[in-house]
Chain A
Amino acid sequence: MEDKSFNPFKMAQQQFDEIAEQLGLEEGTRDFLRNPRREYHFTIPVRMDDGTTKVFKGFRVQHNDARGPSKGGIRFHPQETIDTVKALATWMTWKCAVVDIPLGGGKGGVICDPHNLSMREQEQICRGWVKQIARNIGPLQDIPAPDVMTNAQHMLWMMDEYENINGGKFPGMITGKPVGMGGSLGRTEATGYGVIYTLREALKSKNIDIKGTTASFQGFGNVAQYAIELFHKYGGKTVCVSSWDQQDQKSYSFYRESGIDLAELLDITDKFGGINKGKAKGLGYEILSGDEWINREVDILIPAALENQINAQTVLNISEKVKFISEGANGPTTPEADKILSERGIFVIPDFLANAGGVTCSYFEQIQGNMNFFWTKEEVIEKLDNIMTKAFYGVYELSEKKGIFMRDAAYMIAIARVAEASKLRGWV
C-alpha cells in the first residue's frame, strides 16, 4: 500500500514536476533533476565520555552541482530522515540558482541529539563526519554550513579536521565561521538588506518612488531591524512593527502613524526583538494585538517572522492600499492566500528570492576564504546589492514576459538555469 503520509522529499519532487511541466523539460532532464546526484551514508564511531563507543549515522546529499560546488547546511538532528535531507538539498539547488550564484545544492547531517552529548563528544562527531567525507567535500566540491543545532564552533572543528587531512589551509571549505576566523563581515545585515534591495527594484520597476512609501513589518528580529534601517535610509516610512512578548507569550503590534523611530525602538528592545510595551506606549506608540500589523493602511507589507502568517483568513484583512509584499520570512504565505494575492494584483517578492541575502553572503565567505583575503563591510554590501538586484530582474522579467506570478517565475528561472547547466555539460 502506498504511504500517504507527509513526505518532504515527495513534496519537493511534486513542486519540481509542476514547474518542469510548465518549462517543458524533457523526460531525461526531469529524471535527473528530481533526484539527488549523490547520497553518502556512513558511520561515525565515537568514544563517549564514559568510555563506551557509540556509532552515529552521518550523511551528505549533493543534489546538483552543475552550476558549481554544492552548498548547504549540516544538521545535528536526533531523528533525521533521508527524505528531509534530500528535500532540503533540492531546495538549496533552486535557491542558489535563483540568485544566480555559481553554487549547487547540498545538505547533510548526523543523527544525534546534541542535548545528550558533551562538547567533546560533539567535536568527535564533527571530526568523524569530516574523516568519512573529506574526499567528497571541499572548497571545489561541496561547502557545508551551520544548520539545525550546529554553529560556528562545529564548523571550525570540521575545518580543522579537513585541513589536517589535506595538509593545508582551506578556509573556503566551510562557511558560518566567526569573523576573524574566516567569517565574512556583513552577514548580520545581509538578509534584511536583501529584502529591501529587491523591494527597491520592485518599486522602481512599477515606477513608484520608494521615498514616501509606507510599510508594516511583522517581526522585529535581525531581518526586520536591518530591513527597516535600509528602508528608512531610502526614504520609506514604517508605521507598524509587530513583536513577540516573551512574558505574555503573545505578540503585539506597535503602531505610530507618524512613523516609527528605529533607534528609539531598538533602545527598548531585547535581544529577541521583544519591544518593551510600557516604554513604547510612553513614546507614543499604540499597542495593538499581534495580528493587526497586516491590516494597516500601508503600501508595503513585510512578513519577517514566522511561516503561514498570510493565510486564507488573514489575507482578507489586507488593506486595499497594499500593493507590495516582500517575504523576509520563510514560507509566510500559504497557497490559498497566494491565489487571492495574485487575483488582487499584489506584487509578491517570494521568500527564496527576497531572503536570499543570507546564502549570498555565505557565498562571499567562501570566496574570501578561497582567496585568503577579506573584504570590508562596504564591499560585501555593495556586492550583495549587485547580486540581489540582478537576481530580482531575472525573475521579474520572466514574470512580466510570461505573465506569471513572481513565485512561479522564481522557481522557473531557477530550475531552467540548473537544467541548462546540466545540458551544457552534456549530462542530459
Chain B
Amino acid sequence: MKSGKPEWAVIIDMLEKLDIVLFNRIVRRMIYYLYTLNIPEITDLLEDLEETIIKDKSDHVDSKLYSNMPNPKINRSSLKEFSNKVFQIAGDTIPDDEITEQVKTWVSQERSRFLSIEFENQNIALVDSKDVLARFLKIPKAELEMSPDDFINLRVLLIRRFLSSNLNYINIAKHHILVKDFFRIVQRTIGPAKGSGKLGGKSGGLILGHEILKNEIKNDPDLKDVDVPKSWYITSDTIINFIHYNALEETTSLKYLETAEIRAGYPYLQQLFKNSFFPQEIIIQLKNLLHEIGEKPIIVRSSSLLEDSFDAAFSGKYKSLFLANTGSDEKNLSSLLDAISEIYASIFGPDPIEYRKERGLIDFQEEMGILLQEVVGNRVGDYFFPTYSGVAFSNNEFRWSPRINREDGVIRMVAGLGTRAVDRVADDYPFLASPGKPGLQINISYEDKIKYSQKKADVLNLKTNEFETVELEPLIKKHGDKIKKIEYIVSVDKDRNLTPPIGVMFDPSESDIVVTFQKLTDTPHFLKKMDKILKILSKAFKSPVDVEFACDGEKLFILQCRPQVRSNAEIAEAIPENIDDEDVIIRADRYITSGAIKDIKYIVCVIPEEYNSLPTEEDMKKTAHIVSVLNKKLPAKKFILAGPGRWGSRGDIKLGVQVTYSDIFNTSMLIELAYEKDGYTPELSFGTHFFQDLVESNIKYLPLYPDNEGTEFKCDEFKKLPNHLKDFFPDDRSMDKVIRVVSSEDMKKDSTITIIMNGDTNKALGFFE
C-alpha cells in the first residue's frame, strides 16, 4: 500500500485549485453517492446544514426551511468546510480504491458535458448542432459513461430542440431516442444552417415509432423484416426563410380572414408559392439529397408543428405529394421544389385554417417541416408501387362481429399505394382485417368476396411522372408475375372458387384474379406481426396508435406512426351529461364504436312486433320496398333507420328487413334492435350484409338490446307521435302500423336529434337538441 495521500485525494485537491466548477460537481455527486449507500454520517451532515440555515433564518422570523421567505445563504468558507467534511466522511467509510474509481468516472463523464451546455441553448443553429453532436460521438463510450440524470437531461434537450416541446411526447421519447440517433437524424436534416427549426410532428412520430420498434426488432424473429424507409427531414423554419426570401410576409395574417375569402384567394396563393424561389443554401442541400437518392421515387410529406401532436387531433389536413424522380437532375430538382412549395402553401389553405379555427388553434404559429421518404415499392412495367400497403389502428372502430373487441385493432389495406386505404373511397373497397381476431372475416360468400374486393390501385407512373389510379385487373393480367409476393394478395377465381395462386403454376394473364389478401391473412404471420407492432407502439405511446405501412414484397416498412385520432367524425366525443331524461330517445352500452351524427330530422322505425307478425312474405318485402322509397324521398343524411334483427338479412326474411345497400344509402345511421324472444336474444348482423358499404359511406351502425338494463329505445313513444309515412304514401296506408316515420319537430318544437357514440366509455346517447 502506498503511503501518504490516497490517489483520489490528490485528484480532488488538484481540481479544487484548477477547476472549481468541476470540483463542486464532484462534491455534489459524492453527497448523492454516500446518501445512496446509506452512510449515516452524511445524513447527519446534511441535517446539520439544514439546521444551520433554519437557525439562521429563525433569528429573523418564525419559519421553517422551504417557507415563502428566501433561505439565507451560508458563506463561501463554510461551504468549503462542508465540502471537506463530505470527503472526510467518504474517506472514513468507503475504501480508497472505490472512491478513486468513482471520482475518475465522474471526471470522465464531465468530458461530454459540453453537449448539454450547447443544447441548453435551444436556439443552437443546425450547423452548430451537427458539429457538436459529431464531437460528442467521437468521445469513446460517451453515452455509456454518462450519469443517468445527465443522460436523460441531454436527451430531453435534444428532443426539445429537434422534435417536440410537447411534454407527453418528451416523456415517452426520452426513454427511446439516444444521442447517437440524433446524430443520424441531423445528418439527414436540411434547413437554414443558422436556423433552429424542428422537424415537425409527422417526422417526430415516425422517428419515435422506429426507435421504439428497433429494440423489439432485434429480439423478436417475428419482426425481423420490419423497417422504416430512408427518410430526410426539412426543418420547420425553412418555410419562414422561404417566406421572407420571397417577401410573402403578408400571408401569415391571411388565416384571420373569413373562410370564404381564404377559399377564393387560395388558388392564386398556391401559384404564388409555386412560383417563388428557395434560398440557395436550401437548393444546394436538396441537390445533394437528390444525388444520394438516385432514381428512386420519393414522397414529400407535410410534417407541421401542429400535426400529429400528442394532444390535438390534427392529421390528414395537409398534403403528401409523390414524385417519380425519373427526369434529368434539373427536372427532378424543380419538381421537388415545386412539391415543397405546394405543401408550404397548404398551411394557408381554407380547410386546415377552418379546422384550426374550430379547435382553437388559430393563434398558434404554425410552421411546416417536411418529411421526405423513398417510396416503398418496385418497378412493374411503367409503374411503381408497393405490393400492398395500408393503415393499422389499435382501436377498432369498425367492428363487424361482437367477438371483435375494440382493442383487437383494425387494418385497412390495399394493393398498390396506401392512399386508397387511408381515405374513404367512394367507388372501391379496401380490405379490412382485425389483427387481434385474425380469423374473423367480413365477407363470407363468394359473391361478397368479389363485390367488396379492391378494383383499382394507386400507382406512380414513371413514364409520365404522374400519380395515377389504374384498374387492377388489366395491370395484374399484364404484369402480375412481376409483382413480388402477389400470391399473398390475390386469389384465382375458378368455377366460383377463390384460391390463392400456387407459385410457378400461376399465369396471371390466363387467370381471373380477385384481390382477397387470402394467403396474407390465412397464414398467421402478417396479422400477428401487425398485432405485435400495434401493441408495442401503443404500450410505449401509452395511447392507441395509428400506423401507416407498406410492403415491397420483402420488407414491411412503417411509414408513419402517431397516436390514434383519425378524423373529426371518429373522435370519441364525450357523452353530454346534462340532458334531461325526457329529451333522451336512445341509450346504449354494448358494442359501441365512436362517432357522432347530428342534425337528424326523422327516425324511420320498423316496429319489431308488427314486422314479425306480418302474415305474408309479400308484406315483408313491401316493408323493404317502402324503406327503399323513403331512402330516396327523405332528406339525405337527415334520417336514421331502426328495425328489428338483421338489416339486409339473406335467406330468411323473418330475421330482418330484406334491403340491400341501394335501399338505405342515404341514411346516416342504421340501428338494429334485438328484443329478447322466448328468453333468447337474437344475434345482430353488425351490418355485415353491406358492412364495407357502410364504412366507405360513413353510415354509423348501432346495435341496441332494449331489454338490457342501461339500454333505452323510446319505441312506444314513437307509436304515439304522428306517422309521416302518409306524407310519402298518401294512397297506401296498409303499412302505417309497421313503419313509423317520426319527425323530431313533433317530439319537440324546432329540435333535431343528435346521437353521440363513445367507444372509450362504450356508451351511446341519442337526444333532442
Contact = CB atoms under 8 A, between A and B. Distances in A.
Interface of A: 3-6, 8, 11, 49, 75-81, 84, 113-121, 147-149, 151-153, 178-179, 183, 187-188, 246-247, 249-250, 270-272, 307-308, 334
7 contacts: A84-B654, A115-B441, A116-B401, A148-B650, A187-B495, A246-B451, A308-B618
Contacts of A119: 439, 441, 522
Nearest to A85: B652
The 10 A-B residue pairs whose C-beta atoms are closest, nearest first, are: A118-B439, A249-B662, A148-B651, A5-B613, A116-B401, A114-B444, A115-B688, A178-B497, A78-B683, A79-B655
B444 A149 contact: yes
Given A78-B646, A115-B400, A272-B451, A8 B617 contact: yes
Interface string B496-528: 110000000000000010100000001000000
B438 interface: yes
A151 B446 contact: yes
B615 A79 contact: no
Given A5-B654, A148-B651, A246-B451, 10 more contacts: A11-B617, A78-B655, A79-B682, A113-B685, A114-B441, A149-B444, A151-B445, A270-B455, A308-B618, A334-B618
B497 A151 contact: yes
Interface in B656-685: 661-662, 665, 682-683, 685
B683 A77 contact: no
Would you call the interface of chain A mostly helix, strand, loop, or mixed?
loop
B478 to A, nearest CB: 16
B616 interface: yes
A338 B19 CA distance: 109
A75 B445 CA distance: 12
Nearest to B444: A114
Contacts of B620: 6
Contacts of A152: 496-497
A183 B499 CA distance: 15
Contacts of B512: 271
B297 interface: no
A262 B446 CA distance: 25
A144 to B, nearest CB: 16
Nearest to A7: B654
A116 B613 contact: no
Nearest to B656: A79
Nearest to A118: B439
Interface string B389-431: 0000000000011110000000000000000000000010000
B654 A115 contact: no
Contact of B439 (A75, A120, A188): A120
B621 A118 contact: no
Would you call the interface of chain B mostly helix, strand, loop, or mixed?
loop
A5 B620 CA distance: 10
Nearest to B451: A272
A141 to B, nearest CB: 25
A387 to B, nearest CB: 21
Interface of B: 400-403, 427, 437-442, 444-447, 450-451, 455, 493-497, 512, 514, 522, 612-621, 645-646, 650-655, 661-662, 665, 682-683, 685-686, 688
A100 B650 CA distance: 29
A113 B617 CA distance: 23
Contacts of B427: 247
Nearest to B686: A115
Contacts of B618: 308, 334
Contacts of B514: 271
B615 A4 contact: yes
Chain A CB within 10 A, most for which of B402, B451, B522, B683:
B683
Nearest to A334: B618
Contacts of B455: 270
B719 to A, nearest CB: 19
A120 B524 CA distance: 12
A117 B447 CA distance: 18
B85 to A, nearest CB: 65
Given A79-B682, A81-B652, A272-B450, A49 B439 contact: yes
Contacts of A11: 616-617
A24 B522 CA distance: 57
Contacts of B446: 151
B652 A115 contact: no
A14 to B, nearest CB: 11
A183 B450 contact: no
A53 to B, nearest CB: 15
Contacts of A250: 662
A188 B450 contact: no
Nearest to A121: B439
B496 A188 contact: yes
Contacts of A187: 495-496
Contacts of A272: 447, 450-451
A74 to B, nearest CB: 12
Nearest to A250: B662
Nearest to A181: B497
Nearest to B658: A307
B677 to A, nearest CB: 10
Contacts of A75: 651
A346 B142 CA distance: 96
A119 B662 CA distance: 30
Chain B CB within 10 A, most for which of A116, A148, A250, A307:
A116
A48 to B, nearest CB: 9
A115 B653 CA distance: 18
A80 B652 contact: yes
A183 B401 contact: no
B450 A5 contact: no
Contacts of A80: 652
A113 B683 contact: yes
Contacts of A246: 451
Contact of A5 (B612, B621, B686, B688): B612
B495 A188 contact: yes
B441 to A, nearest CB: 7
A179 B493 CA distance: 12
B665 A249 contact: yes
B102 to A, nearest CB: 54
A183 B620 CA distance: 37
A5 B614 contact: yes
A84 B665 CA distance: 29
Contact of A116 (B440, B445, B493, B495): B440
A334 B619 CA distance: 12
B683 A4 contact: no
B686 A271 contact: no
A3 B613 CA distance: 8
B402 A116 contact: yes
A115 B440 contact: yes
A3 B662 CA distance: 33
B504 to A, nearest CB: 18
Contact of B445 (A8, A78, A118, A149): A149
Contacts of A148: 445, 650-651
A246 B455 CA distance: 12
Contacts of A249: 661-662, 665
Contacts of B495: 178-179, 183, 187-188
A362 to B, nearest CB: 13
B652 A6 contact: no
A113 B682 CA distance: 11
Nearest to A4: B615
Contacts of A77: 651-652
B409 to A, nearest CB: 16
A117 B497 CA distance: 20
A118 B402 CA distance: 13
B401 to A, nearest CB: 4
A79 B497 contact: no
Given A178-B494, A272-B450, A272-B451, A115 B442 contact: yes
Contacts of A81: 652, 654
B661 A79 contact: no
Nearest to B664: A249
A13 to B, nearest CB: 14
A79 B683 contact: yes
